[in-house]
């Protein structure tokens, strides 16, 4: 990073902010800070695109603090008013930004009212509690995710007309389809005379994004990295990007070797779905245990979007402060943007992200603030190799990395350990199926769909990677080349005896198995009976049966015609129907009903009988 001193700013920064920034160890400004701070502090709207880890957070934190201070010096905020709002896409990032504000606010002078930064995210506490905290404290700065901020500002208790500045960090994400509605709704509640700042490492569609925020004349700031090899790159100078092309069956074996044998402090591994994070977390926890490694040597954590907010933040905190020699975080794209975790030196992507714009965000969790980092992206042999050229067109060059060699012995150890772990509890296999199915769905959502085609996916290789011995039933199976009979890849698992560790679940499984078996036997028996009957019936027997039916119909027809004739005769003779004829007609009806009733009773008796047979 270039060294521009804080004194070189074209205006006098508040002395306490300068003291704070230097005490926190930031003696110089990064390029993005040097370009952004003067503009945003001095009433310009900005759109800032700068590489990951370049210091964008301080580039808005300092102007926000400057604005709050001058507003407080001019006259303090009225009750229930706030001065600044920062919106980010995830709870973890919101929490991190609050912590950055708090580290500065420790230095605030006594002559200013106590400034607080309040966190507004869902799932931690109800919005009523957020409101109560806001009314009781001087929360001049609000930091949160769009949904909760929207709910919070919609309350009539909160007054929005003193808001001086809004920052959208990871702006391209906040303005994409999933957040747009909530973001726009928040922007509409804020005064028009405010400053706006958009920040991201990927703001290629800035024109569209600016239009959505209602900014009129913003200054666009672009800071690229000037590495020795690439001028004007969107990749940080000390971040090395690698691709590793291999068979999907080998991906996890290579990962295990990398995690246990390479030297690093912290690694982040990206998996495609939440369920796959949970599944592989359990699997790797077991591998590490079986290798005899202790928690002081290596710790593994999992974080994904299906966990509640509190455990998510706790996990992140534990990973950040882990004292193990090596720490591993298994996660999804929920941790791809903005997170600043010290000492992460390697990022591994088991598969590329479905949205290519996420690629640099994932890689950018290492190689931050001018520190070295390595980001490895695994690609399956075949069509996926085209992803390397696809990124090259976008100005991202991946160097090739050979997969580490897995010896025969290592291979056997892995397979046996995995099988043993899976056999301990059938619910692990169920989770493997869910992960596999989730992966196939994930694969079909790739935006670069000409490269990641469900038709060309190596289904068997992926199934093996997930530890499956049988392909689950799904429509995509039509694309599986040489689809195995019954879907079995091998018969090493006997699914009849494969048990759940949970007793209740196992009892239910056995019961279901029994019912299934009975049904099968019944079907078999019925089929046998039918076949036997067909065999025994002679042609003449069948014909004689038909004759009796015809005879019966004729008889009934004759009786009906006779009665109808009688009624007609009666009408011709002009007399009303006598009681005797009415009885005759009723007798006929009763006769038919009686026959029907008897037939029904016979049928019921037969059905009942077949149930009793069981
Ligand atoms: N002036 C500075 N001098 C040295 N280090 C700095 C300076 N400003 C910020 N940093 C450090 O740089 C790291 C990255 O900063 P920050 O998280 O703001 O990056 P970013 O550009 O927002 O990245 P991302 O795009 O991934 O969100 C942090 O650890 C931060 O402490």
From 340, 361, 367, the mutation candidate for ligand 1 (largest count of ligand atoms within 8 A of CB) is 340
Distance of CA 370 from the midpoint of ligand 1 (Å): 9
Q: What is the C-alpha to C-alpha distance for residues 451 and 382, in angstroms, rounded to an integer?
A: 10
Atom of ligand 1 nearest to the CA of 32: 21
Atom of ligand 1 nearest to the CA of 54: 21
Q: What is the C-alpha to C-alpha distance for residues 210 and 172, in angstroms, rounded to an integer?
A: 10
Q: What is the C-alpha to C-alpha distance for residues 350 and 252, in angstroms, rounded to an integer?
A: 8
- CA-nearest residue for atom 3, ligand 1, is 26
- The reported pLDDT for the residue numbered 445 is 93
Alpha carbon distances (Å) from 341 to 146, 353, 360, 365: 23, 20, 16, 7
Each residue of 324-344: pLDDT tens digit? 999 999 999 999 999 999 999
Indicate if the alpha-carbon torsion angle 451, 454, 460, 466 is positive or negative.
Answer: positive
Atom of ligand 1 nearest to the CA of 200: 25
Q: What is the C-alpha to C-alpha distance for residues 205 and 172, in angstroms, rounded to an integer?
A: 8
Alpha carbon distances (Å) from 44 to 80, 202, 526: 26, 21, 83
ipTM score of complex = 0.99
479: number of Cβ within 10 Å: 14
Residue 75 DSSP one-character state:
S
Distance of CA 225 from the midpoint of ligand 1 (Å): 14
Atom of ligand 1 nearest to the CA of 361: 26
Question: What residues of the chain score a pLDDT lower than 50?
Answer: 1, 575-584, 606-614
- CA-nearest residue for atom 12, ligand 1, is 369
Distance of CA 340 from the midpoint of ligand 1 (Å): 7
- The reported pLDDT for the residue numbered 35 is 94
Atom of ligand 1 nearest to the CA of 93: 27
586: number of Cβ within 10 Å: 10
Q: With beta carbons less than 8 A apart as the criterion, state whether 471 and 463 touch.
A: yes
Distance of CA 526 from the midpoint of ligand 1 (Å): 74
- CA-nearest residue for atom 10, ligand 1, is 55
Nearest to 332 by CA among 364, 358, 310: 358
From 5, 53, 266, 364, the mutation candidate for ligand 1 (largest count of ligand atoms within 8 A of CB) is 53
Q: Look up residue 550 and give its two tokens.
A: 């015809």
- The reported pLDDT for the residue numbered 546 is 56
- CA-nearest residue for atom 9, ligand 1, is 55
Looking up tokens 């790739």 gives 446
Q: What are phi and psi of 225, to 5 degrees?
A: -95, 150
Q: What is the CA radius of gyration of the chain?
A: 37
Q: Which residue(s) pair with 97 in the sheet?
A: none
The burial of 34, by beta-carbon neighbours within 10 Å (0-12 exposed, 13-18 middle, 19 or more buried), is given as: buried
- The reported pLDDT for the residue numbered 237 is 86
Distance of CA 369 from the midpoint of ligand 1 (Å): 6
Distance of CA 56 from the midpoint of ligand 1 (Å): 6
Residue 328 DSSP one-character state:
E
Atom of ligand 1 nearest to the CA of 33: 1
Distance of CA 54 from the midpoint of ligand 1 (Å): 5
Atom of ligand 1 nearest to the CA of 340: 17
Alpha carbon distances (Å) from 528 to 79, 128, 178: 84, 68, 58
Distance of CA 339 from the midpoint of ligand 1 (Å): 10
Q: What is the C-alpha to C-alpha distance for residues 563 and 131, in angstroms, rounded to an integer?
A: 87
Distance of CA 573 from the midpoint of ligand 1 (Å): 112
* HEC-encoded secondary structure of 214-246: CCCCCEEEEECECCCCCCCECCCCCEEEEEEEE
- Domains of the chain in start order, with CATH, are 6-223 (3.40.50.300), 239-487 (3.40.50.300)
Q: With beta carbons less than 8 A apart as the criterion, state whether 235 and 51 touch.
A: yes
Distance between the two ends of the chain, CA-based, in angstroms?
81
- The reported pLDDT for the residue numbered 232 is 64
Residue ranges around ligand 1 (CB below 6 Å): 26, 28-30, 33, 50, 52-58, 201, 338, 340, 364, 368-369
Atom of ligand 1 nearest to the CA of 100: 31
Task: For the chain, give the percent of residues with pLDDT over 70.
Answer: 89
Q: What is the C-alpha to C-alpha distance for residues 353 and 375, in angstroms, rounded to an integer?
A: 13
Number of helices (H) and strands (E) in the chain: give both, helices first.
20, 16
- The reported pLDDT for the residue numbered 401 is 96
- The reported pLDDT for the residue numbered 547 is 58
- The reported pLDDT for the residue numbered 580 is 40
Distance of CA 3 from the midpoint of ligand 1 (Å): 14
| Interaxial angle between packed helices 31-41 and 56-74, expressed in degrees from 0 to 180 and rounded to the nearest 10 | 20
Residue 470 DSSP one-character state:
B
571: number of Cβ within 10 Å: 11
Distance of CA 363 from the midpoint of ligand 1 (Å): 15
Q: What is the C-alpha to C-alpha distance for residues 344 and 517, in angstroms, rounded to an integer?
A: 54
Q: Look up residue 386 and give its two tokens.
A: 């085209």
- CA-nearest residue for atom 2, ligand 1, is 26
Distance of CA 53 from the midpoint of ligand 1 (Å): 5
- CA-nearest residue for atom 23, ligand 1, is 53
Nearest to 50 by CA among 176, 319, 280, 235: 235
* Contacts by residues 387-394 (CB-CB < 8 Å, ≥ 24 positions apart): 387/243, 387/352, 387/448, 387/451, 387/452, 388/243, 390/356, 390/448, 390/451, 391/356, 391/359, 394/234, 394/356
Dihedral class, residue 327 (left if φ above 0, else alpha if ψ from -120 to 50, else beta): beta
Give Cβ neighbours of residue 606 (< 8 Å, ≥ 6 apart). Answer: none
- CA-nearest residue for atom 14, ligand 1, is 53
Distance of CA 37 from the midpoint of ligand 1 (Å): 14
């Amino acid at each position: 990073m270039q060294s521009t001193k804080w004194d070189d700013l074209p205006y006098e920064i508040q002395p306490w902010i300068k003291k704070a920034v230097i005490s926190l160890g930031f003696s110089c400004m990064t390029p993005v800070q040097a370009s952004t701070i003067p503009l945003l502090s001095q009433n310009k709207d900005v759109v800032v695109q700068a590489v990951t880890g370049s210091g964008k957070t301080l580039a808005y934190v300092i102007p926000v603090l400057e604005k709050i201070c001058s507003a407080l010096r001019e006259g303090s905020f009225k009750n229930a008013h706030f001065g600044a709002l920062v919106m980010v896409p995830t709870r973890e990032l919101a929490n991190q930004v609050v912590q950055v504000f708090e580290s500065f606010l420790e230095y605030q002078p006594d002559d200013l009212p106590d400034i607080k930064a309040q966190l507004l995210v869902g799932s931690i506490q109800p919005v009523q509690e957020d409101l109560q905290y806001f009314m009781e404290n001087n929360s001049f700065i609000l930091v949160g995710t769009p949904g909760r901020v929207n709910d919070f500002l919609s309350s009539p208790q909160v007054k929005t007309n003193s808001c001086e500045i809004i920052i959208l960090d990871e702006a391209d994400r906040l303005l994409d389809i999933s957040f747009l509605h909530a973001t726009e709704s928040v922007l509409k509640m804020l005064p028009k005379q405010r400053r706006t700042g958009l920040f991201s490492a990927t703001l290629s569609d800035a024109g569209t994004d600016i239009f959505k925020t209602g900014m009129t004349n913003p200054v666009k700031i672009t800071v690229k990295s000037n590495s020795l090899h690439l001028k004007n790159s969107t990749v940080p100078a000390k971040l090395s990007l690698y691709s590793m092309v291999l068979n999907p069956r080998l991906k996890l074996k290579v990962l295990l070797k990398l995690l246990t044998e390479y030297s690093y402090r912290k690694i982040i591994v990206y998996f495609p779905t939440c369920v796959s994070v949970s599944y592989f977390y359990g699997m790797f926890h077991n591998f590490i245990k079986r290798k005899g490694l202790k928690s002081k040597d290596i710790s593994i954590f999992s974080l994904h979007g299906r966990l509640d907010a509190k455990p998510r933040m706790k996990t992140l905190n534990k990973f950040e402060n882990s004292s193990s020699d090596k720490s591993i975080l298994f996660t999804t794209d929920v941790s791809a943007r903005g997170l600043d975790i010290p000492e992460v030196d390697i990022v591994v992507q088991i598969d590329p992200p479905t949205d290519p714009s996420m690629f640099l965000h994932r890689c950018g969790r290492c190689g931050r603030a001018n520190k070295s980092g390595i980001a490895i992206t695994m690609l399956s042999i075949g069509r996926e190799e085209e992803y390397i050229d696809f990124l090259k067109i976008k100005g991202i060059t991946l160097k090739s990395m050979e997969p580490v060699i897995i010896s025969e012995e290592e291979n056997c150890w892995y397979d046996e350990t995995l099988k043993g772990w899976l056999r301990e509890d059938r619910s692990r296999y169920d989770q493997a199926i869910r992960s596999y199915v989730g992966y196939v769905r994930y694969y079909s959502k790739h935006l670069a769909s000409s490269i990641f085609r469900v038709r060309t996916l190596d289904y068997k290789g992926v199934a093996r990677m997930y530890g499956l011995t049988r392909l689950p039933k799904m429509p995509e199976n039509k694309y599986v080349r040489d689809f195995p009979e019954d879907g079995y890849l091998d018969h090493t698992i006997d699914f009849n005896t494969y048990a759940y560790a949970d007793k209740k679940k196992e009892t239910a499984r056995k019961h279901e198995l029994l019912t299934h078996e009975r049904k099968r036997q019944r079907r078999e028996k019925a089929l046998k009976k039918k076949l036997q009957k067909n065999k025994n019936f002679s042609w003449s027997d069948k014909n004689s049966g038909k004759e009796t039916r015809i005879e019966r119909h004729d008889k009934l027809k004759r009786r009906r015609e006779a009665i109808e004739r009688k009624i007609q005769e009666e009408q011709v003779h002009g007399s009303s129907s006598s009681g005797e004829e009415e009885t005759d007609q009723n007798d006929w009806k009763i006769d038919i009903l009686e026959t029907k009733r008897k037939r029904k009773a016979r049928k019921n008796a037969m059905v009942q009988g077949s149930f009793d047979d069981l």
